[in-house]
Structure 1
Amino acid sequence: MSERAPSEQGQGQRIWIMGASDGIGAALARSWARRGARLILSARSGEKLNDLVRELGTAEALPCDVTDGDSLRDAAERITTGGPLDRAITLAAAYDPGKVMQVDPQMAAQIVTANLTGCFNFVRAAVPLLKPAGQLALTGSVAGYVGLPQGQIYSATKAGVINLAETLRAELAPAVDVRLISPGFVDTRLTQKNDFDMPAILQPDAAAEAIIRGLNGRGFEVHFPRRLTLAIKLLRALPYPLSLRLTRRLVR
């Protein structure tokens, strides 16, 4: 299967970033803005988006919510008037660490809706907006590779996003260049909720640069930092009797 190589570093590309109000999404917007991309930035927080747009000077703020199909459809209609997209990326996510039996069921449902159903909603809205062979990127997580202690519903939803991206790759290629982003630990408002050591943690700017390099390459998955992701991929590849014994040792 042949894949297109995205144009030089995003120069002049029209890119929709969902989850752009802070964290990796905001850092990604700044990095692409420096490269001359034409950005459409979305998140639930219109105030934060407007602050970022004022900072960048050239981007467009388009508040919407991945859990609200109507708001996504309205956003898609507005985007259509400006022409097709080169790329559409979603980083929107909800997170609440803890053991499965301790999580609040209502919070668990909200995480599923935001992370998995929201990703599906974004795909349905974004794909028709892409130019031929345009790029669609979904954000999973290394937390979705294998069930780890205190990953609870978040890890399960990210495993679902990984599966969804694989399915979309099979169904949509080569008309759509489907990619999967799998970050390790990144210093954001979500990971700041953790009360455990986070190996190889990155700053959002470094994560953004890794994502852009990966999306400008040809591989399906962009995963980083590799000293962490490769170790967890190895754990996933082990037989269950061994991998479960190892993960059990991580229970606090």
Structure 2
Amino acid sequence: MSDLSQERIWIIGASSGIGAAVAKAYAKRGASLILSARSQGPLQALADEIGATALACDVGERATIEEATAQIAQSGPLDRIIHLAALYDPGAIAELDHEKAAQLVQVNLMGTFHIAQLAPSLLREGGQLALCGSVAGYIGLPKGQIYSATKAAVINLTESLRAERKDRDIRLISPGFVSTPMTAKNDFDMPAVITPDAAATAIVRGLDGSGFEVHFPRRLTLALKLLRLLPYRISLALTKRIV
């Protein structure tokens, strides 16, 4: 990517929160953007604001992803695809609605699978595909389900894709707590919470770098990575204390 200002980027899940902030960050450096989300109204408003193309689709519905990829393919290869779309429904496992849980699996896991399978063909040789996991997927924590379970699966899927697609630059994004409408559902204190703009800055900087995983804020992510490395007899004793 010799001239970053000439990049063509598809951002999925761009209508609000982290996705919208990432879109604005790339727009500021002159990238040509295609923005996707389910919500046509907010998506079009953002696209008009920053001079991007709006292309509504629902990652939980494979047919809409197939339609979007076919349309994008007609205009030439992309430099990056950044997939950030997700649903969130926190709560203890015993309290979760099973239909909502199934919807989260469909959007978060199967949606990522659809992108992982269909989107790489849109990229130029060596182009970048970034999929969004979460620090919630590092280790099972109270009230993280079923969102956390889907994100653990996304992390595994992205690792596998990285090993399989040597012709593409596969990346993993693992955000911590970010102040968005999604995390407003939480009824607990969120440690090291950051703004969407701070998250976007971390993502843009990280994706310009060479590491596989972009994770932030590090004061949270490094602690959770350490917790994941501990033997179960220690880590599970610690997570039981979290309420």
Q: Give the TM bin, normalised by the shorter chain.
A: over 0.9
Task: Give the secondary structure class of the aligned counterpart of 2:146.
Answer: helix
Q: Which runs of 5+ in 2 are unaligned?
A: none
The Cα shift of 1:125 comes to 2.1
Q: Who is 1:126 aligned against?
A: 119
C-alpha separation in 1, matches of 2:55 and 2:11: 10
Q: Who is 2:19 aligned against?
A: 25
Q: Who is 2:221 aligned against?
A: 229
C-alpha separation in 2, matches of 1:178 and 1:133: 9
The Cα shift of 1:116 comes to 0.3
1:246 paired with 2:234, answer: no
Write the mapping of 1:1-252 to structure 2, written as runs, cut at 5 A: 6-7=1-2, 10-57=4-51, 59-173=52-166, 175-250=167-242, 252=243
The one-character-per-residue Cα deviations of 1:175-234 (angstroms, maximum 9, x if unpaired) are 010000000000011100001000110100110010000000000000000000000000
Task: Give the secondary structure class of the aligned counterpart of 1:134.
Answer: strand
User: Where has structure 1 moved over 4 Å in runs of 4 or more?
Assistant: none
The Cα shift of 1:7 comes to 4.0
Give the letter aligned to residue 163 of structure 1.
N
C-alpha separation in 1, matches of 2:90 and 2:109: 17
C-alpha separation in 1, matches of 2:213 and 2:121: 22
C-alpha separation in 2, matches of 1:73 and 1:94: 20
C-alpha separation in 1, matches of 2:118 and 2:10: 11
C-alpha separation in 2, matches of 1:147 and 1:44: 29
Task: Give the secondary structure class of the aligned counterpart of 2:174.
Answer: strand
Give the letter aligned to residue 229 of structure 2.
A
C-alpha separation in 2, matches of 1:158 and 1:81: 32
Question: Over aligned residue pairs, what C-alpha RMSD do you find?
Answer: 0.8
Q: Who is 1:3 aligned against?
A: none
State the identity as a percent.
Answer: 61
The one-character-per-residue Cα deviations of 1:29-64 (angstroms, maximum 9, x if unpaired) are 00000011000000001111110011112x100000
The Cα shift of 1:123 comes to 1.5
Contact 2:14–2:23 (CA under 8 A) maintained in structure 1: yes
Give the letter aligned to residue 76 of structure 2.
G
C-alpha separation in 2, matches of 1:106 and 1:86: 37
Q: 1:158 to 1:7 in 2, by over 3 A?
A: farther
The Cα shift of 1:77 comes to 1.1
Q: Which runs of 5+ in 1 are unaligned?
A: 1-5
C-alpha separation in 2, matches of 1:114 and 1:7: 34
